[in-house]
Structure 1
């Protein structure tokens, strides 16, 4: 029965650990996450998600207008056509960037809920609380991020 008690108490404890701010990954020497710090990170990520969603909607509206206004280009000279194309491509790039940032933000929120926030997705080591506070969407520790950037 002592073994059964250990097994049954281990499961709830594992679930609770994922939800406890002090259990989120930190580097050696860093203070554990406090509930206020976790709430601040969550609020910042949620605010960023709302901002990005709004930016994407605005961008899509602009793109729809650009596509509608482009028509067949009758009466436009080459400079007008080129300007319209550049504007449309720029707006498409902004929208794509905003979508990618939104995905990263949503992934960070999921990791926060799962208790894996602050762990490097490449090596599994803690990313570092200071880095997470400066860049809440970070998924790689500094070392892995530097290796990734050197490959490109």
Structure 2
């Protein structure tokens, strides 16, 4: 049986706010402009708010499923199995959302620190198209492929 992700409130200790160029640092050698990074940051902050809300909903659903699972009087084995499956599925969804929150927060921190757009492993620029498709990417394509092969 899987366990739930660590119980945390949806609010991070350093909640990001809407885009402002004073919270954006353009890395040296970057092909991004300050305005583009501010736009990406605003998008990430918006996604972060949605993810936190969805995570809170998942945690409420898990609480409800846990309470319902404790009152199993009269349930047959199929009912118990269905409840366990639902609970484990919701735990998986909550864990995924928790990971996405952490990735999004990290991307916002990288924008503010001036390290956004460069691979955390090799230091090469991450193609703009990749970051537009997945703004929280921290690795360039070749480093990501190497990581996935392991």
Runs of 4+ with >2 A deviation: 18-21, 23-26
Q: Report the equivalent of 2:132.
A: 133
Q: Report the equivalent of 2:119.
A: 120
Q: 1:20 to 1:103 in 2, by over 3 A?
A: closer
Instruction: For structure 2, list consecutive stretches of 5 or more residues without a partner in the other structure.
Output: 1-22
Instruction: For structure 1, list consecutive stretches of 5 or more residues without a partner in the other structure.
Output: 1-17, 27-31
Give the root-mean-square deviation of aligned CA atoms: 1.6
Query: Does structure 2 retain, via aligned residues, the 8 Å contact 1:25–1:129?
Result: no
- CA drift of 1:20 comes to 4.7
Q: Report the equivalent of 1:74.
A: 73
Q: 1:54 to 1:138 in 2, by over 3 A?
A: same
- CA drift of 1:65 comes to 0.5
- CA drift of 1:35 comes to 2.8
Spell out the pairing of 1:1-152 with structure 2 (5 A cutoff). 19-21=24-26, 23=27, 26=30, 32-151=31-150
Distance 2:68 2:49 in 1: 29
Query: Does structure 2 retain, via aligned residues, the 8 Å contact 1:25–1:119?
Result: no
Q: 1:71 to 1:20 in 2, by over 3 A?
A: closer
- Would you say how many aligned residue pairs link Structure 1 and Structure 2? 128
Q: Report the equivalent of 1:7.
A: none
Q: 1:53 to 1:119 in 2, by over 3 A?
A: same
Q: 1:150 to 1:78 in 2, by over 3 A?
A: same
